[in-house]
Each structure stands twice: as C-alpha cells, then as structure tokens.
Structure 1
Amino acid sequence: MTAFEPLPSVAGGPAGSWPNRFAGLGGDFFTELPARGLPYPHWVATSPACAALLGWPADWANDAALQVLSGNAVWPGMRPLASVYSGHQFGVWAGQLGDGRALLLGEVDTPAGPQELQLKGAGLTPYSRMGDGRAVLRSSIREFLCSEAMHALGIPSTRALAITGSALPVRRETMETAAVVTRVAPSFIRFGHFEHFAHHGLHEPLGRLAEFFIAQYAPECLDAPLPVAALLEKVVRQTAELVAQWQAVGFCHGVMNTDNMSMLGLTIDYGPFGFLDGFDPGHVCNHSDHQGRYAYARQPNVAFWNLHALAQALLPLLPGEGEGAGEPLLAALEVYRSAFPAALMRRLRAKLGLLAEREEDQALSDDLLRLLAAHRIDFTIAFRRLSAISTDPAQDGTNEALRDLFLDREAFDAWAGRYRARLAAEQSRDAERQARMRATNPAVVLRNHLAEGAIRQAQAGDFGEVTRLLKVLQRPFDEPVSAADADFPPDWAQHLEVSCSS
C-alpha cells in the first residue's frame, strides 16, 4: 500500500481524549494508518439513541463531525488503526483476514463503560486483500438500520451512530456510490483474533490477547483456577443466549464465519442478513451460500462449531500437554448443549405468554412451529396475532385473525385447544398475558422490502425514509402508525436477494 499523510485534526468534538486500550496491545495486533476519506461527503442518517449512549449532545452532527466520520479528519487524540485476525469462512480455513475496510478510531467513556468507534468503508488497509476497502450506500443503510433495530428488540448488537455518503463510485454487481457507517461497541474483538495467533504458533501474543480480554471484559474469570477455560465458558453462554434470541425473533445472520463472531456475544457484521417472512426452517438468506451452511435452522449448530474453533485456538494457553490437556475447554464447550436449548425455551415460553415451566411446553412450541412451517406462515405476524388470542369462549371471534392464517383449520384448532388448556392450567389472565406477549413479539422487524424501500429512495437522493424507518424500528413492539410497516411483504419482495457483497 502507498503511505498516506496523516489526516488533519479538527478542533473540538463531542468526546474527550479518545483513549484506545486495544492499541496498547502493540504492533502485532494492528496497523496504524489514516482513513481514505469520502470526497464531498454528506449526512445520510444519524441515530440519536446511539449518540445518547455515548453521552453526546443533540447538536453533535456538525460539519466537523461530518468530516471525521467520513474519514477526512480526526479529532485530537484519535489513532485510526486496522486490526488483524484470521478465521474460518463457510467452514474452511481462510487464513489471514483483518479489518479490510474498517478503522478503529478510539474509545468514548460513557456511563455504560468505554465504547469503541469504528469507521466501516473508510478505504484500503493492509488487510483488504482483493477488496477496495469501501462500503456502498445500499449495504450501509442495511447495517445502520439493523444494528439499531436489533438493539431495540433487546438483542445484543454492535450499534450504528451514523452514515455518511458521497458520489464516489464503487463497483459491486453494478456501479454504486460510497458510504461510511460509524459503528459502536465495547469491543470489536472476534473469535478470529484468537485464531490468527494460534494458527501461526504465536503463543506469546495469543496469551497477551487473552490476558487483555479477560482483564478488560471478563474480570470475573481472573479468580478461576483456569481463567482461559472460564473465559471460554463465558463466551459459550453468551453465544448460546445470542443465537437463542436470533431464533426466537426469526433472524438469519447469513454469514456466521468465525471472524464474524463477537467475543462479547454481540451480533456483528451485518451483511446478507434477513428476517423470516414465511416460516421456513431451511431458509437461506445469503444468495452466496450455495450449500445452505448458514440456513436459519442450522445457526445453533454453526455457533457450536465456531465455539469449537475458538476452543482450539485457546488450547495452547492451557498448562500441560497430551490427550487430557484440553479437558477443561471441552467441559466449557459442553455447556452449550444445555445452555442453548434452555435459552431458546425461555424465549419460546415468553412468546407464548407462559409464566410457569411445564414439561409439555416443548411439544406445544415445537408443534406450533411445525404448523407454521407446513403452511409457510409469516413468522412475525403469526406470533403477533397470537398475542391477542382470547381464552374466553365468548370472544372466539377475536381469534379468527390468527386462525385465518392456517389452511388446515382443524390442525390449528387442535393446537389452539391444547394452548388454551395450558393457559388455564396456570390460571393465565388474558389482559396481563396479552400485554406481556405484545412486549415480546414485535409488530415490526427490518424485513428486506422495508430496507429496500429506504435504499431506493436514498439512492435517488431522498434520505427521509431511512430516518422514518429508524424511528419505527426503535419501537418494534408498538403498533406502527403506518400499517404497511407491519403487514405481509408484497409479492415483489420474493425476488429480493442479498449476498456477501450486500
């Protein structure tokens, strides 16, 4: 790569000194370099909720901020850097990867703890491989909206502060325009950071990374007999909870490579993601995933596979050698086998409005999902309508909106009879249960056609729909003002495709 001049520093800024704990790990972990900014940038959208997380004032998005978040300048104290990592992509070792289009700017101290800011799409880095280091407006809008939507759903996620855009042309399948997303998270460290050093036999920096991560993000592991094994168990539990939340809301990640798995249990790297419309356990949201490795129903097992890869990377840090050396890590991995189904069942009970735990709940929820799959019934709408179901025989007419979704009415009626009996067994009160269910089963998720509508308007120069949709997605459990936001997808949405270039 060609050397670049340091970026100009602009005065002020909404934060202080921009500390960077990750940079303290040393040069084995990153390359320090300036961004390659966007020419003549403009604001596309900002997230007031994310800015509030950072403790920034309402008027933070000024001209200086536009230049900084477009990669044209820095605030004093920022040290842009790209980190190196490796990983398995579609189950195959991919070798060295790294931040090919992302730059870490530094940290903001907030009441919730330090938050890192990262630019995505700010130009070439030493880890760009054959890429151009850019992000396009289309994929940037999708990541921005989904990052904030997932947070509003209560699902751990990286956040998105802003999108800036430019007329700079970028080629993907067609010619598009460039954009930069500002992402926010306590840490962007991934499974792949550990895999990188383990694969190359670099055990000293591997140990340094583990010590750093435990000290900064998992200090409770320090007092364990084997802190590395305790760390793995923590990551196993966090990942199990995260994937259970994905499954419960019908979210498909689309590219669950080990380099896209967060050590903090966050949803990270929104590329070819999607939310289920008609319920299909075999749904593959990534048009590039020709083998269906990351299909919706396979996500829990893929997460377990990825955790095995992380355990293998941590193995050199355990004392001793030989066949039994890895037993503590295997024991930590085994936690997933019970933690994931328990986490998923908790969420399914909540979606069904059940308070008590009963043995028949598993069959009740499984049978409903089978009915949804058999009829390809809309996942989000079905559970939202279930939230209004009444157990009062005099109110049976209010249940027709749900019943009408099913072609096999008798099969649904049989299931609904079991469900009502289950509610009666715990003396469920309709009004209280319905309120709980409406706070669990969203009315609105970021369906592909909603994102596509915002993208098409933005590509025509109108960013109003991005801002409007953001406001709707930040209140997903409320009935939206526009009924179309919560309605069935239009016919043309069946032909939308997202791929790894998205």
Structure 2
Amino acid sequence: MTERKTIIETGWNLDNSYARLPKTFFTRQSPTPIPSPKLIILNYPLITSLGLNSQALQSNDGVAVLGGNKIPEGALPLAQAYAGHQFGHFTLLGDGRAVLLGEQITPLGERVDIQLKGSGKTPYSRGGDGRAALGPMLREYIISEAMNALGIATTRSLAVVTTGESVIRETEQSGAIMTRVAASHIRVGTFQYVSKWGTVEELRVLADYTLQRHFQDVDADENRYLFLLKEVIKRQAALIAKWQLVGFIHGVMNTDNMAISGETIDYGPCAFMDVYDKATVFSSIDVYGRYAYGNQPKIAGWNLARFAETLLPLLHVNQDHAVKLAQDAVSGFTELYHYNWLSGMRAKLGIFNEELQDESLIEDLLSMMQKYRGDYTNTFRALTFDKLEDNVMFGTKEFAHWHEMWQARLGRQQESKDSSYKLMKSCNPAIIPRNHRVEEALEAAVKQRDYSVMERLLDVLSRPYAHYPEQADYSTLPEPSTCPYRTYCGT
C-alpha cells in the first residue's frame, strides 16, 4: 500500500493506448531488472510539464521506475515491432533495447510516450544485449535537449540512470538507461512492418490510430489517409528545413528513424556541422555519404515515398489511382521543403519580404563559406552582430561585393535595419552543441564521473538565442585536426 502511494505522488498518470492495437504490432515485455540503479541526471523543466514530482522521482522508488525495476500504475510495458530501410536495405526490426511503459497524460491533457531505452533484451534484439552504454545515453540527452532549445521538434530526455552493470562494446563501459519522452514512437518503419506482414485491416487500424493521436483535425468528408500522408509530408518538410538551417546532421536517416509525428528521433551518430560543407558526414558507418548534410532533404523525400507506398491500399480501391494520389502528394515535398528552407534563410539574413534574387544571394554566401571553410554558425552570428573580422572570407573582394548586395537588399524593405538585426538575432543561434564540447562533457562524465562539465554545457545550450557573454567560450572552434570527427551508433 505504501509503495503504491509513493508512485501516485510521483505524478504518473499513465495509459497505454498502443497496447490496445492488434497484438502483432508489439510484444508485451517488461524491463529486465538492474542491480543498482543510480540517478545521473534529471530534466527538471520537462518534469514540470509532464506533471511529475521531482522529489519523488529522486527517491528510491522513483529511481527504481526510471531504471525499470518497478512498473508504475497504469503502465503496460511493451516492445514495438517495426521494419525499416537501413541504408536502403529493407529488414525486420523492432525495439531491440527499449520498452514503452505507456503514455503519460500531462496536466494539459496531452498524451506522450514514456520509453526506457537500454532496458534489456526483447524479441527484437537480434542477438544484442538490449542494454545501452552511459556515453551514448548522455549524448542523446545533450543533443535532444539542445534541439528542443533551438525550437526544433524532437523527442526529449527525462532522465539517465546507471545500471550498476557493464556493457561490452569496443571496450567495457558503464551501462545506463535513458527515459525518453516522445509524441509517439510511430515510425515510417511501423507502417512498413504492418504493410509487409499485416493485413489491410490492420494497416487501417494503425492509420486511424495515428490520425487520432496526431492529426485529429481531418474533415469527415475528405480522404483521411491522403490527409495523413500530406500532413506527415508537411511536418517532415518543416523539420528537415530546420535541421539544415542550424547545420544538424542526423547521421542515420533510415526509415525506422523517421517519426510520423514530425519529431527528430534516435540520436545515434549525429552532430552539428562546424565548417560549412554539403558533403559533411559524421557517422562512422556512413562510408558512402548517403546521409551527408546535403543529402538529407533528398533522403527525407525518399523515406516519404516509402511511407506513401504503405498507404496505397487505403488511398483508393483502384491501385493506379492510389499510386497517382501518392505520387502527387510526395512530389509536393520538395517544394514544401524549399519554401521552409528559403523562408528560414531569409530570416537568418534579416529579410522580411520576398525577391526573386534572394536565393542567389543566399547561395553565393554559402558558396563562399564552402570555399573559405567558414564556420556555419559563427558566420551567421558574425553577420548578426556586424563583427566581420574573425573569418578569412570577410577580407575578400568576393565578400565585400556580397555584403554590399546584402545591405542593398535590406534597404529595399519597409522594415528598418534594426528590425532586420533583431530578426537575425532570433534566428541565428549563438551556440550549438560543438562536437569537441560534447566530447569533453562525455569524457568527464564517463571516465571521471564528473557531471559538472555536462551540466554547464546544458545550461548554455538551453538559451541559444540569448547571445549572452558566458556563451562566447562555447562558440570557439576546436583545434585543427587531421582526423575527421566521427560518431558511433552506441548500440
């Protein structure tokens, strides 16, 4: 009786509507208990929005839930099944090291998934140990919270606990479990799984569930599944444009890593670009550059085409007509993405209205950045504050000509120059999670058990558009290196 009271006081208000879907969509699976859960970090702002009690979460019972040793009331733990095109090759997948506890109903009535990542083996583990290492879990915590602060739709990180066990990857590492919060974990790969191994009726159930969960404003008299496709395309067009605008590289844009909700999901070998280069790749496994920075919009379109294929039986009884509807919808992605990207780039340059020459002005700047190895974030930051002495390209005749054209462009709009610079300040972050700073924080945490470096980094990353003096040190570039920066999946 006492234990139940503790959990209720924590604020858990869980349901699991996904568990009411056809049983082929998932496997009921409890987390594998761990010997010694220890709380490493807790996301206090997120706790408040979820309606949870931070003190109760830090208690032994609260940490036991975050470590998978206790199941809160209302939870129905399960591992979701899905498939995916991984680097273009289709395969059966699923939650191999994660368990969905259920959906927290927030004080505002929103429904969000609560998932434990690194919680042990499932039927989808494919020979893996089902566990996660501390470094990759802290990395996801840092990057996802930075993305949220940048205003980019993303899954969130509620907590990280260590397990008291080691995991073997390239070396022996401390085991950890991250509690991930998401609008849902429905993926393009979820639809691919049901399309391949389920029935048309099961596919319809999944589509209806997704509409109810994320797209409730569908009109009764319209093609609801075409509406679903178009809305997913809209959200992805907006999301990928925002990635490009801040220089974020996901690293592994497989179809199982594209969330139907439009959130960024699965932070494995991801990083932010320093020097501007469309060919930038950070993932150690992306040897051919399939998921390079410049390819992300094209890959998003490819993934959406795979999503559209799964919906064909629902779009129309006539297959040819269904294909035509799907093709027309997917073909609109490029224009939607381009509109979002161009609008965002205009804002980064303080431009309020539209002129035909704007895109060439933008491309000329990016070309100079690539030619002179300009830092992407710091170049826009320098333009925002008119501090043009820090980059080699600012002293060239090319840039002087471009700057003159840009200033003339700003002069051809009704808004003042001050208004333009205010717009730029709100759209150009002072700080991103620089790769060397993230590695510095992870090394201190994993090797020295010193979490203060990470805490300071998270603090400055939480206000990327504040442009306050304490951020300056975190905007400096790393020392030149002959080795390219590489990140790893952490599986």
TM range (shorter): over 0.9
The match for 2:47 is 51
Asked if residue 265 in structure 1 is aligned to residue 252 in structure 2, the reply is: no
The match for 2:454 is 466
The match for 1:345 is 342
The match for 2:400 is 413
Gapped regions of structure 1 (runs ≥ 5): 1-7, 390-398
Gapped regions of structure 2 (runs ≥ 5): none
Q: Measure, in 2, the Cα distance between the counterparts of 1:353 and 1:457.
A: 39
Query: 1:344 offset after TM fit, Å?
Result: 0.3
The match for 1:280 is 277
Query: 1:487 offset after TM fit, Å?
Result: 1.1
SS across alignment from 1:36: coil
SS across alignment from 1:118: strand
Structure 1 pair 319–433 and aligned structure 2 pair: CA distance change class (3 A):
closer
Further displaced range: 458-467 or 225-234 = 458-467
Query: 1:306 offset after TM fit, Å?
Result: 0.2
Further displaced range: 35-44 or 271-280 = 35-44
Instruction: Indicate conservation of the 8 Å contact 2:132/2:490, yes or no.
Output: no
Q: Measure, in 1, the Cα distance between the counterparts of 2:9 and 2:306.
A: 41
Instruction: Indicate conservation of the 8 Å contact 1:101/1:135, yes or no.
Output: yes
The match for 1:299 is 296
Aligned residues: 484
Instruction: Indicate conservation of the 8 Å contact 2:145/2:156, yes or no.
Output: yes
Instruction: Indicate conservation of the 8 Å contact 1:120/1:180, yes or no.
Output: yes
Q: Measure, in 2, the Cα distance between the counterparts of 1:495 and 1:474.
A: 27
Aligned runs of 1:384-403 on 2, under 5 Å? 384-389=381-386, 399-401=387-389
Q: Measure, in 1, the Cα distance between the counterparts of 2:469 and 2:42.
A: 21
Query: 1:13 offset after TM fit, Å?
Result: 4.5
Further displaced range: 110-119 or 298-307 = 110-119
Structure 1 pair 244–190 and aligned structure 2 pair: CA distance change class (3 A):
same
SS across alignment from 1:277: coil
The match for 1:20 is 16
SS across alignment from 2:282: coil
Query: 1:406 offset after TM fit, Å?
Result: 1.1
The match for 1:106 is 102
Asked if residue 191 in structure 1 is aligned to residue 191 in structure 2, the reply is: no
Instruction: Indicate conservation of the 8 Å contact 1:13/1:75, yes or no.
Output: no
Structure 1 pair 401–78 and aligned structure 2 pair: CA distance change class (3 A):
same
Using structure 2 for the length normalisation, give the TM-score.
Answer: 0.95
The match for 1:78 is 75
Query: 1:335 offset after TM fit, Å?
Result: 1.8
Query: 1:211 offset after TM fit, Å?
Result: 1.1
Query: 1:461 offset after TM fit, Å?
Result: 1.1
The match for 1:489 is 478
Q: Measure, in 1, the Cα distance between the counterparts of 2:80 and 2:469.
A: 41
The match for 2:436 is 449
The match for 1:163 is 160
Structure 1 pair 186–294 and aligned structure 2 pair: CA distance change class (3 A):
same
Structure 1 pair 414–112 and aligned structure 2 pair: CA distance change class (3 A):
farther
SS across alignment from 1:166: strand
Query: 1:112 offset after TM fit, Å?
Result: 6.0
Query: 1:400 offset after TM fit, Å?
Result: 3.1
Further displaced range: 123-132 or 420-429 = 420-429
Instruction: Indicate conservation of the 8 Å contact 1:277/1:489, yes or no.
Output: no
Amino acid at match of 2:367: R
Query: 1:329 offset after TM fit, Å?
Result: 1.6
Deviation per CA, 1:278-320: give whole Å up to 9, x if none: 0010001111101110000000000000000000111122332
Query: 1:37 offset after TM fit, Å?
Result: 3.0
Using structure 1 for the length normalisation, give the TM-score.
Answer: 0.93
Q: Measure, in 1, the Cα distance between the counterparts of 2:70 and 2:164.
A: 19
The match for 2:425 is 438
Asked if residue 29 in structure 1 is aligned to residue 29 in structure 2, the reply is: no
Q: Measure, in 2, the Cα distance between the counterparts of 1:492 and 1:374.
A: 19
Instruction: Indicate conservation of the 8 Å contact 2:33/2:68, yes or no.
Output: yes
**C-alpha RMSD over aligned residues:** 1.8
Instruction: Indicate conservation of the 8 Å contact 2:146/2:461, yes or no.
Output: yes
The match for 1:249 is 246
Q: Measure, in 2, the Cα distance between the counterparts of 1:143 and 1:443.
A: 21
Q: Measure, in 2, the Cα distance between the counterparts of 1:239 and 1:165.
A: 34
